[in-house]
Amino acid sequence: MKSVLLLLNLWFLTSYSTFAYIVDPGPSVKATKGALWPKPKTQTTSQRYSVIKRSSFHFQAVNQTCDILTKAIDRYQKIVSNVGNESRRALFSASRNDNNLARRSWRSDVNFNEYLEEVTVDLKAPCEILPYLGMDESYDIIVSETHASIESYSIWGILRGLESFAQMVVLSEDGSMLYVNLTTISDSPRFSHRGLLVDTSRHFVSVSTLLKMLDGMAYNKLNVFHWHIVDDQSFPYQSKYYPELSEQGAYHPSMVYTPQDVQNIIEEARLRGIRVISEFDTPGHTRSWGVSHPELLTACYDQYQGKLGPMDPTKESTYTFLFKLFQEIVEVFPDKFVHLGGDEVGFECWASNPAVMEYMKQNRLYSFEMLEETFIQRIVDQIDALNRSSLVWQEVYVNGVRLPNGTVVHVWTGNRQDLLYRITKDGLPALLSSCWYLDHLSTGGDWRKFYNCDPHDFVGTKNQKDLVLGGEACMWAEVVNDHNILQRIFPRVSATAEKLWSQEYVTDTDDAARRIEEHSCRMNLRGIPAQPPSGPGFCI
């Protein structure tokens, strides 16, 4: 009797979808089946389908190729195979005693097209080596009666197309076949900068977890890993020029990113079309720097006697030290952009220091904002001299720093509409993060609040809105570490990913709710421990 009840239960669960998600009590969210996340620009899908022949299915490069493509094909070959692995087929077929009958039923189905053994991967132009801002990520997918192909003029578009194709592959309800509907897709992203910021200072995050995070980013078509690598609490970056920074400033000798670790992360990101942008925040958030180099920081007096404050902007040695470090950083991190921070600088220590006050008097600096401007100006100029471009937090812009053309202003707090209007009116590019703070956790369903934020939700001309490059979701690490950071990020970052990839008219949260149920289970199947997005239920 128990076995009969089990079979009935499995039949009920698997009859919903390949990645069944049943929500009870309350209104059920019926998961989609083979729907894409993020939603593509245009897609036409037929009821007809081709059955993937597991024993011989493969991707075949037919034009240009390179290491990025070869390794991507290997990854996605395994991903597609895993959708129909033996254990999953057994689960889905548990309610059917006669699989041969099931096979006969789909062979005679009027919607059955043919067996699919090969998907051609047509890269129409030579591979580029490094991902970059504004890279071409457009692609086309055709699964027709006679052939299946993924096409793009860019390796980055091929990567996004492989991801979309893999999402289209589903296991039948009875586990007897792996199939894909006949489909035509033409897709490209709305914004060129689609990022995830991860803080590795408040809690150390292991390399293995960061690598898994990169996989999760690729599954959501995110393309920037903003590595907030150091902060007040610890300095885990192992510098070639200043090894004492991590030797004395890291939490523990085991909690350090070696040069090889950093190169591994940059390389694995590159293979997934993800840029790695480093952030070494100054002049604030630098307490860990002062463990080995207290001379960099401002000595406090009066009620703050014995403490150290932000970096000392009055000493030429501070700028000499930073320039040497930034020379190393641009050698290590190949991206054109360096994030300089510049946020949340406390002025109390500067105000207590007689040497700082005398410096301000001699240089006619009438406010601490002007002093901070002087510091940031020197750092921005250093990055400019190193042939790199700067990203800065919004305080740098608000405080009036003269920013070189192309400096990106990162909005994280306050009235985002007003700030985006002002920044772009001044001709500067902008990024948005203020509505995508993943450390602000409310409930499992809080992805909806992220989904309802749009970077173009401000009054401005078309030229102004074109200056909004995109945005980033931010995972600050006060209360996350290896044991919960992936669950906090996924699938909540998926909402941000869709808002930055899909077209402006993609706003239907009910449709998104069904697709994110499937996508969360899809990520679980691929080894990403995404938390349930909306409520009670489970994945098959």
515: left (phi over 0), alpha (psi -120 to 50) or beta: alpha
Mean pLDDT across the stretch 47-61? 95
Question: Which residues have C-beta within 8 Å of that of residue 224, sequence separation ≥ 6?
Answer: 193, 194, 195, 196, 274, 275, 277, 472
Reply yes or no on whether the pLDDT at 25 is more than 60. no
* CB half-sphere exposure, 371, CA atoms < 13 A: 27
Residue with tokens 């009821």: 47
DSSP letters along 157-175, please?
Answer: HHHHHHHHHHHH-EE-TTS
pLDDT at 163 over 50: yes
What's the pLDDT at 539? 84
Query: What average pLDDT does this structure show over 222-227?
Result: 98
CA distance 383 to 327: 9
Angle, nearest 10°, between helix axes 155-168 and 67-83? 10
CA 196/CA 228 separation, integer angstroms? 10
DSSP labels, 305-345: TT-EEEE-TT-HHHHHHHHHHHHHHHHH--SSEEEEE----
The answer to whether 194 and 221 are in contact (CB under 8 A) is yes
Q: What is the average per-residue pLDDT within 515-522?
A: 97
Identity of the amino acid at 82? N
User: Pseudo-torsion of CA 407, 413, 416, 421, nearest 10°?
Assistant: -40
The length of the chain, given as a count of residues = 540
In one letter, which amino acid is 315? K
Q: What single DSSP character describes residue 384? A: H
pLDDT in tens, 280-294: 999 999 999 999 999
Cα–Cα dist 368/202, whole Å: 27
Q: CB under 8 Å to 256, separation ≥6 — which residues? A: 236, 237, 238, 246, 250
Neighbours of 112 (CB within 10 A): 16
Place of tokens 């150390």: 204
Residue 20 has pLDDT above 70, yes or no: no
Of the pLDDT bands very low, low, confident and very high (cuts 50, 70, 90), residue 87 is confident
- Report whether 416 contacts 458 (CB < 8 A): yes
Residues 289 and 281: their CA atoms lie apart, in Å, by 11
Q: Which helix (H) or strand (E) holds 48?
A: strand 42-52
Look up 369 and say whether it is catalytic.
no
Quote the pLDDT of residue 19.
Answer: 37
Compute the distance between CA of residue 304 and CA of residue 150 in angstroms, rounded to an integer.
63
Q: CA 319 to CA 53: how far, in whole Å?
A: 62
- In this prediction, residue 131 has a pLDDT band, given cuts at 50, 70 and 90, of very high
Helix pair 354-362, 368-385: axis angle to 10 deg: 80
Hey, what are 80's tokens?
A: 């597609």
pLDDT reported for residue 13: 36
Model confidence at 85: pLDDT above 80: yes
Q: Which pLDDT value is given to residue 16?
A: 32
pLDDT at 97: 54
Task: Decide if pLDDT at 96 tops 60.
Answer: no
3-12, 88-97, 419-428, 437-446: range with lowest mean pLDDT: 3-12
The model's pLDDT over 372-397, given as tens digits with 9 standing for 90+, comes to: 989 999 999 999 999 999 999 999 99
- pLDDT given for residue 98 in this prediction: 54
- Counting beta carbons within 10 angstroms of the beta carbon of residue 108, is it exposed (0 to 12), middle (13 to 18) or buried (19 or more)? exposed
Instruction: Point out the catalytic residue in the list 145, 244, 295, 344.
Output: 344
Distance, CA of 539 to CA of 523 (rounded, Å): 10
- pTM score, two decimals? 0.93
pLDDT at 23 over 50: no
Strands (E), 239-388: 275-282, 297-299, 308-311, 337-341
What is the reported pLDDT for 536? 81
> What is the reported pLDDT for 104?
55
- What was the pLDDT predicted at 95? 55
pLDDT at residue number 267? 98
Question: How many angstroms separate the CA atoms of 479 and 382, rounded?
Answer: 34
pLDDT at position 18: 38
Of residues 234 and 306, more confidently modeled: 234
H helix or E strand, kind and range, residue 290 = helix 289-292
Task: Read off φ and ψ for residue 193, nearest 5 degrees.
Answer: -115, 110
Task: Give the DSSP letter string of 421-470.
Answer: HHHHHTT--EEE-TT-BTT----GGGHHHHHT--TT-S---HHHHHTEEE
pLDDT of 392-439, one tens digit each? 999 999 988 888 889 999 999 999 999 999 999 999 999 999 999 999
For the segment 451-469, the average pLDDT, to the nearest whole number, is: 97
Helix axes 259-271, 67-83, angle to 10 degrees: 70
3-class secondary-structure state, position 483? coil
